[in-house]
A and B are shown apart, each in its own frame.
Chain A
């Protein structure tokens, strides 16, 4: 280790001493990179393998084919979780896109206090989902939150009890998730709006388009690549959402707000069904790939196009 900073290879130096000299840098580069890469590959294969074994309390060898998958897919828990994911994913992504775009457009109107507003819209992202979920569970709790406040103010018949309503509870997660992460969409959209080529705008204005028209027809259409990125990132969050739900509803009432990540955790660590838990995790990965692979293909094609252009 002592000659790490020694000078370059002198002629006649043996291959062994050269290797020894460069050992620290090889270790510093390769150990972390290989550990990281190896854990990603082996852990994925490992989990996939467990999903094909009859493991329950502890991992065991053996082969049960797709039995864990059919069991998970047939369970009410997973079916509810999957339906919830479709609803939550769609509603959350749509609303946070709309909110984020609206905020970005408004902030782009050269208004006063833009920095303060941006700080306000983005601060929820710095807070953990556990905190967000806990706080929203208070606000949305009909006994102590918004409903109680409105009752105390005199409107006795007011009802806002989604948190304890089986059919509406999933919307409380949508609300909290939008509150937490629409600022992210805003930040990306705002960056997009700020980088629109000034020449395009000038051209539109020379053609006689007014400011509002230019904005709608020329500026906003440039945002669609960013929109796709935002959708993919938000979907990725929705698919693996765990902390927020755990803190806000814990899957309840009953299993009304179950989501795939909660099913995985439940199977693995509460019901000791490791094989099924691993199968549910692999199903989660497949859902994620259904989003990410088209996105990767799209990015690849776009990069090739711009390389040719």
Chain B
């Protein structure tokens, strides 16, 4: 991006031709696309406020006749998922208890390792780093059976701790990559000078590197949180019943209500489950996008 970004009065953009109809067309097309992207969200939000009878009489797409806030109360703590009637609250709690520790551990360990790989250099670092980043590509399916066996052997199958462990270790592939690519731009002289002054590995990290790190730590935390919260395959494979994260519970919920539709309550449950990552996206969108592109361009 160091090349001239075309902006301001850049003479390129088609607008400068100055014919209005094409401008109107552009706005029309982007508005239509925006409507299409928003439609599913709007539909679910509206549905979450309609009663089941109302939805059954018409369709999933419609305006609430009166606001059925009760759907949210029911979805949160009253609804039955697979024989337990406590709503999705316990599963939200599970997701939080998996996501928050795993995000913190993988980010911290990734920051230290990224710092070591980029600024300290040690024997074998290129190899280890290369192998760790292969984790970005290795499909989860290749790790399903080994994780099952390992978790069973160490007694962590069907526990939240087991999922924290998995997400911490697997998340390292991303966090080490993000942090390493960020720290590599820090001048080595800074580290050398600090070492001459007698500062060790951790003191330099704490005093010099960490204060410079907030942008990349925010990117990493947002990325990890979103991914772990939204993860489904491991959740559904390694946990059952009351230990499941909310993504797995949503699937169980759909299965449970297949006979008698409760679309209003289900919509409320979907909104609640999606809310944490949506809020993070709304408030940290810039960092979210940076993580997205950093993960892609590698």
Residues on A lying within 8 angstroms of B by beta carbon are 4-8, 22, 24-25, 28-29, 32-37, 39-44, 46-47, 50, 59, 99, 102-103, 106-111, 117, 119-132, 134-139, 141, 144-146, 148-149, 152, 179, 183-184, 187-188, 191, 194-199, 201, 205, 210-212, 214-215, 219, 229-230, 233, 236, 239-240, 242-243, 246-247, 261, 264-265, 268-269, 274, 277-278, 280-282, 284-285, 288, 292
Contact = CB atoms under 8 A, between A and B. Distances in A.
A108 B141 contact: no
A144 B59 contact: yes
Nearest to A114: B30
B30 A107 contact: yes
B143 A39 contact: yes
A242 B233 contact: yes
Nearest to A128: B230
A211 B16 contact: yes
A269 B37 CA distance: 35
B15 A243 contact: no
Contacts of A247: 250-251, 254
B202 A130 contact: no
Contacts of A59: 145, 149
A188 B290 CA distance: 10
Given A130-B232, A187-B289, A195-B3, A211 B60 contact: no
A6 to B, nearest CB: 7
The size bracket of the interface on B is 35 or more
B154 interface: no
A242 B59 contact: no
Contacts, number: 299
Contact of A135 (B6, B43, B226): B43
Contacts of A195: 1, 3, 5
B285 A243 contact: no
B177 to A, nearest CB: 11
Contact of B30 (A111, A184, A230): A111
A145 B61 contact: yes
A188 B297 CA distance: 9
A215 B13 CA distance: 8
A48 to B, nearest CB: 8
A34 B254 contact: no
Contacts of A268: 144-145
A199 B278 CA distance: 40
Contacts of B224: none
17 contacts: A32-B113, A39-B170, A41-B131, A122-B285, A126-B288, A128-B274, A130-B247, A130-B250, A145-B61, A149-B61, A188-B293, A194-B6, A199-B3, A229-B296, A246-B251, A264-B141, A281-B141
B128 A34 contact: yes
Q: Which 10 pairs across A and B sit closest by C-beta, in order of nearness?
A: A128-B230, A198-B4, A126-B281, A148-B59, A43-B146, A25-B201, A281-B141, A37-B131, A7-B198, A32-B109
A121 B169 contact: no
B65 interface: no
B67 interface: no
Contact of B132 (A5, A36, A99): A36
